[in-house]
Amino acid sequence: MEEDILTTLKILIIGESGVGKSSLLLRFTDDTFDPELAATIGVDFKVKTIAVDGNRAKLAIWDTAGQERFRTLTPSYYRGAQGVILVYDVTRRDTFAKLDNWLNELETYCTRNDIVKMLVGNKIDKENREVDRNEGLKFARKHSMLFIEASAKTRDGVQCAFEELVEKIIQTPGLWESESDGKGVRLSSEDGARGGACGGYCSML
Amino acid sequence: MAADSDPESEVFEITDFTTASEWERFISKVEEVLNDWKLIGESSKKPPEKGEYTAGLWEEKSDEILFADFKFCIKHHYFVQDACEKEDVEDSGEDSLPVAMQDLLSTNNDFPPIAHCLVRWYGLREFVVISPAANDAVISESKCNLLLSSISIALGNTGCQVPVFVQIHQKWRKLYVGECQGPGVRTDFEMVHLRKVPNQYMHLSGLLDIFKSKIGSPLTSMPSVNIAIRFTYILQDWQQYFWPQQPPDIDALVGGEVGGLEFGKLPFGACEDPISELHLATTWPCLTEGIIVDNDVYSDLDPLQAPQWSVRVRKADNPQCMLGDFLSEFFRLSRRKESTDELLGKSAFEENGKEGADISQALSKLTEPAPVPIHKLSVSSMVHSARKKIRKHRGADESPLSNDVLNAILFFLFPDSRLLDGSEGKPSSSAAISSASENEDYPLYSQLKSAPSDSLTYKLALCLCMVNFYHGGVRGVAHLWQEFVLEMRYRWENNCLIHGLAGGPPDLKCCLLHQKLQMLNCCIERKKARDDGKKRSAMDSAGNADKTKSDVGKSWDSWSDSEDEFFECHSDTEELKESGQEPNKKSAAKDDAKEPPVLKPEGRFQQSGSLTLLGSEEPLYIPVTQEPAPMTEDLLEEQSEVLAKLGTSAEGAHLRARMQSACLLSDMESFKAANPGCSLEDFVRWYSPRDYVEEEVTDEKGNVVIKGELSQRMKIPNNMWVEAWETAKPTPARRQRRLFDDTKEAEKVLHYLAVQKPADLTRHLLPCVVHAALLKVKEEETEESIPSVKQTIKQIISHSSKVLRFPNPDDKKLEDIITQILNVEATIARARSLKAKFGTERCEKPNEKEDLEKFVSCLLEEPEVPIIGAGRGHAGTIIHKMFLNAQRLTESSDEASVMVPADEELRRPSSSDDRRQMSGSDFPAPAGREIILRLTVPRPAPYSKALPQRMYSVLTKDDFRLAGAFSSDTSFF
């Protein structure tokens, strides 16, 4: 089992407090929903192996607390992440309005610039929606992110969100290969171009 | 046809291959390969365009075949052509000649600048070569003939029209024989290779004679031969003053004169001329026999009059470039295994018991809880006395770095130490500088994971690099590092911030060493704040506030401006002591649940908007809280590993939350202290406002009231928030246990620094050095503006950012990066050399200058550059002058040393010398002469088809080669 795992990916879930980050994760890893899930303290961590395009990838998913005060603590965990899921609550506009702050945070603390970002609008099962799907779509386009709406409660879109993200990471060259040394494609050497070293070729007389 | 109509003979015929000889098997193997490569049958392609062989793409395929146990390598070389419109070519009829034969006559690609020798000699666009695979050689004549016969049979059997060659004799002689077959025609490729040029073939007329005699045409009146000639002249002897760059005066640096030495600047440029030769080719592309005369007494071929001139330059193979040397020397350090102590002998502290004790006492003094009057000690005088001690002990002549050099470097690294005489430096100013210039190269340092270019780390990297190169190599590096670590300890012990590091927690985008230094700075900052706070309160109580000092101190407190709310944390022992001293408070804390209003609020930071505590009119205060612990990436790694190890079970998650709840608890305690009588609801309204749900409710009286309650998840019994709230005592942050133990962390950093070997340092700092080198080549490039270099630099940056992002990159990859930088440096040096040689700066007419600059940049990027206007053009005149100068130089030196016996040898083609004088040209004898003769005549009989004949000859000082391709009609022979 362990052998055919292509790579281990580090994925981060961020967003304002109470938007359902831990619930999304719980839905994805254990396929359950717990309406009484305690507020996360600091960071939490879960592992799941999934298959995408015939590649098995082990996901180490770091769930973070959304409270302002914890924000001084959690960015240290951004280091080395290949993917990030940015969650907002479609029934609370303020959680959508804060997305810019989260992106700034990501920009500041993330150690790589090619990290794959996914925007998830959670709690679409609720009736009192405040953020339209198109608004989320627009935001995601503006910041070149993946976008999906989901509900951890009804499981809509959850599995799909994680799979999309992983697929995108695997398709991004240089994002994960060098981590698992020896595997994957090597950088093609830049030379070898015409007119370089001569193999039986002479340049003069 | 015959076989098809008579199937029976096929059926009953037994073909026996059991006795096939090695030779037959070899032939069939060759045929098989030709089949595999689809070289069978005629192919019709457009004749190549002018110069296409150089501009286009060549490819090759290869395979191995055996003749008995002798291994041959068979290789197909071909020019990649776009599939052309078939109709165009096909009307040339059935009996069109094989492509190779047409190529023999094409003049479009004579003298290609870069090509396989067979292309150069025969103008072929496609051919197959069979050569011995190992370093063997086919030398005996019978073996050569056997091979040639094999080819002949294979070509005949398959109908392949691609010429096939066999390489014979030693490989370096590049001697090939071959054959090409077409319907009713064949071409034999023959070659002569000699060391000396036979006298009769020294000139065109002799070569024409041999060409005609080889053809042996039966015609009485032959058509005139088509001739292309190229003479190549080599200029090797650049006069010394043409090379502008002087190597730096290393002696002056070593001698201790450091005044002129600029630390932090990398050297650049080649120490020797990176252009070793200039080759001038003068070409007569199309002459006809009889128009010109070139024989042993007279020649019409005056290079100045040649219609085409082109130039190529030969680059010095491995020019010694200073930046490249600098980098590779530094990288070489990473293979040294010695530790700093091994390199310098035992540490000075250990040997010198008494004097060393002072320093360690200073440490213990500082770690004592009581405030220390640090400012009575002059920091810089302490630093210097410590250095003196070390030096005294080691002995001045023993230490790898001289005092002057060391002091110069230390002042460069710590510019504030000049100002340090008891008062603090001004870190605020350095912070401002760093943030300003950060923007500029922000992407680069974060891409390379180095450090900002004005940071201490970056400067340190450059200094170590320089010390390694100029001042004592690895021992010098060890010495400087030891001094550096010492300085770091002083700064920690004396509450003196380290300059040149951005404030705040370690920047994870920088290299680990930079993070460690930032971490140390965080520790110093906190310790200093604590000490200052204590000192101030001591002074306040004495009623003797020193105005200036407290002012300076204040500017350091980024988080608070008011003195009474000053944030301070005590170590464990202090806490115990203090809590013992204040029994009242402690007991008050215990029964706060009973008598909340009695408590005096403590550690308030500011009011939180207009919020009031639930059920009272008291405003809700945000407390002063403890700053979270700064982390370097290795600590972080450790911590997340610990957290991850707890697993994904519910208990694991619980334990993880508990481990991280220290911060939450501390905040709750501060909150309780600042808001006596508060409830968890109050705390949640500040800390996690979304977990306090407010609803508009209509009460019994019909009024709309806002009713709030904790969110569902906060109300879960025994959840960790409730649990923590219950255990939290009202304690202001300054009396809490420190979340971040700066003393411990600082000692950890200092220990980490102390145990780094020079090799480790190299690994840590290589990104900074690469960063600096890239900035340097960028800067130098802008002066010269070479588009290809600009491109290459971009590539190097993206390549190295991929390599350096990961810990412990491959040596091989690092070497690659260094080599790439070196190549860029060499290219820039070459551009400078050429510009100096052609005097682009001196050129006065603007359009001429522009042309010349374009010409020079072409020389760098293209294998061969034509000169517009040949000998009469501007560039042509300059080149002519160069040759004249070189001539004059050698002639004068020849006269000076008459006794040179080799003189005769040097001027061996003396006849050409004489002729040169006759023709009035002032060029030296050409280093090489190439002549291509072409003719279409019927062969072997007058009534045969007229077929292409070609002979290429090259004459150099010690090489003479004739390569002939003679075609004949095989229809009736």
Q: Which two tokens stand for residue B150?
A: 């094999």
Residue bearing the bigger pLDDT, B292 or B369? B292
Q: Which residues contact A6 (CB under 8 A, 6 or more apart)?
A: A55, A56, A57, A170, A180, A183
- Residue B968, pLDDT above cutoff 70: yes
Per-residue pLDDT, averaged over B96-107, amounts to 85
Strands B226-235 and B928-938: antiparallel
- Residue B582, pLDDT above cutoff 90: no
Largest CA distance in chain A: 84
Which residue carries 């292509």 as its tokens? A6
- Angstrom distance (rounded) from CA B960 to CA B908: 14
Strand runs (DSSP E) across B147-258, as ranges?
A: 164-168, 175-182, 185-194, 226-235
- Angstrom distance (rounded) from CA A85 to CA A12: 6
pLDDT, position A124:
92
> In this complex, do A39 and B646 lie within 8 Å of one another by their Cβ atoms?
no
Q: Could you list the pLDDT tens digit for every one of the 205 residues in chain A?
A: 445 777 888 999 999 998 999 999 999 999 999 888 888 888 888 999 988 877 788 899 999 998 888 877 777 788 888 899 999 999 999 999 999 999 988 887 777 777 899 999 999 999 989 999 999 999 999 888 999 999 999 988 899 899 989 988 888 877 766 443 333 333 333 333 333 333 333 334 4
Tally the C-alpha atoms within 13 A of residue B67's C-alpha that lie toward its C-beta: 19
Predicted confidence band of residue B176 (pLDDT cuts 50, 70, 90): very high
- Angstrom distance (rounded) from CA B736 to CA B726: 17
The shortest C-alpha distance from A138 to chain B (Å) reads 26
Are A109 and A78 spatial neighbours (Cβ–Cβ below 8 Å)? yes
> In this complex, do B648 and A35 lie within 8 Å of one another by their Cβ atoms?
no
Mutate one of A41, A47, A68, A107 to test the B interface: name it (highest B CB count within 10 A): A41
In B, residues 378-437, which contact A (CB 8 Å cutoff)?
none
Are A61 and A189 spatial neighbours (Cβ–Cβ below 8 Å)? no
- Angstrom distance (rounded) from CA A147 to CA A85: 10
> In this complex, do B720 and A38 lie within 8 Å of one another by their Cβ atoms?
yes
Residue bearing the bigger pLDDT, B397 or B297? B297
Handedness of CA B829, B835, B839, B844 (dihedral sign): negative
Are B891 and B184 spatial neighbours (Cβ–Cβ below 8 Å)? no
In A, residues 45-64, which contact B (CB 8 Å cutoff)?
45-47, 60, 62
DSSP string covering B810-860: -HHHHHHHHHHHHHHHHHHHHHHHHHHHHTTTT--SHHHHHHHHHHHHHHH
- Angstrom distance (rounded) from CA B713 to CA B623: 25
Degrees to nearest 5, angle at CA B191 with B185 and B195: 170
Q: Does A186 touch chain B (CB under 8 A)?
A: no
Q: What is the pLDDT of residues B236-250, one digit of tens each?
A: 766 554 455 544 444
Provide the whole-model pTM. Answer: 0.70
Neighbour-count burial for A11-21, b at 16+ CB within 10 Å, e otherwise: bbbbbbbbbbb
pLDDT, position A88:
94
Q: What is the pLDDT of residues B598-623, one digit of tens each?
A: 567 888 888 877 778 887 888 888 89
Q: Torsion over CA of B146, B151, B157 and B161, rounded to 10 degrees?
A: -160
Predicted confidence band of residue B346 (pLDDT cuts 50, 70, 90): low
- Residue B180, pLDDT above cutoff 80: yes
Q: Which residues pair with B697 in a beta bridge?
A: B705
Region of B347 on the Ramachandran plot (φ > 0 left; ψ -120 to 50 alpha; else beta): beta
- Angstrom distance (rounded) from CA A203 to CA B114: 4
- Residue B440, pLDDT above cutoff 60: no
Question: Between B644, B720, B954, which is nearest A60 by CB?
Answer: B644
Strand runs (DSSP E) across A102-203, as ranges?
A: 116-122, 146-149, 201-202
The pLDDT > 70 percentage for chain B reads 75
The SS3 assignment for B375 reads helix
ipTM: 0.81
The shortest C-alpha distance from A203 to chain B (Å) reads 4
Query: To which H or E segment does residue B493 belong?
Result: helix B473-493
> In this complex, do A43 and B664 lie within 8 Å of one another by their Cβ atoms?
no
- Angstrom distance (rounded) from CA A195 to CA B860: 13
Q: What is the pLDDT of residues B371-393, one digit of tens each?
A: 434 443 444 444 544 555 455 44
Predicted confidence band of residue B543 (pLDDT cuts 50, 70, 90): low
Q: Does B40 touch chain A (CB under 8 A)?
A: no
pLDDT, position A148:
92
3-state helix, strand, coil in chain B (%, to 5): 50, 15, 35
Q: What is the pLDDT of residues B820-850, one digit of tens each?
A: 888 888 888 888 888 877 777 777 777 777 7
Predicted confidence band of residue B633 (pLDDT cuts 50, 70, 90): confident
Q: For all residues of chain B together, what is the average pLDDT?
A: 75
- Residue B103, pLDDT above cutoff 50: yes
Residue bearing the bigger pLDDT, B187 or B808? B187
State which of A14-28, B1-15, B526-540 shows the largest mean pLDDT.
Answer: A14-28
Q: What is the pLDDT of residues B776-813, one digit of tens each?
A: 888 888 877 777 788 888 888 888 887 887 777 788 88
Q: Does A82 touch chain B (CB under 8 A)?
A: no
Cβ-Cβ contacts under 8 Å, B116 against chain A: 200-202
The shortest C-alpha distance from A146 to chain B (Å) reads 24
Which residue carries 């037994």 as its tokens? B14
- Compare all CA atoms of chain A with the CA of B114 and give the residue at the minimum distance: A203
Neighbour-count burial for B169-179, b at 16+ CB within 10 Å, e otherwise: eeeeebbbbbb
Residue among B857, B972, B942 nearest B313 (CA): B857
- Residue B898, pLDDT above cutoff 80: no
pLDDT, position A177:
62
Are A7 and A50 spatial neighbours (Cβ–Cβ below 8 Å)? no
The DSSP letter of residue B96 is P
Q: What is the pLDDT of residues B70-89, one digit of tens each?
A: 889 999 998 887 655 444 44
Predicted confidence band of residue B900 (pLDDT cuts 50, 70, 90): very low
Question: Between B627, B628, B661, which is nearest A41 by CB?
Answer: B661
Q: Which range has the worst mean pLDDT, B481-485, B582-586, B869-873?
A: B582-586
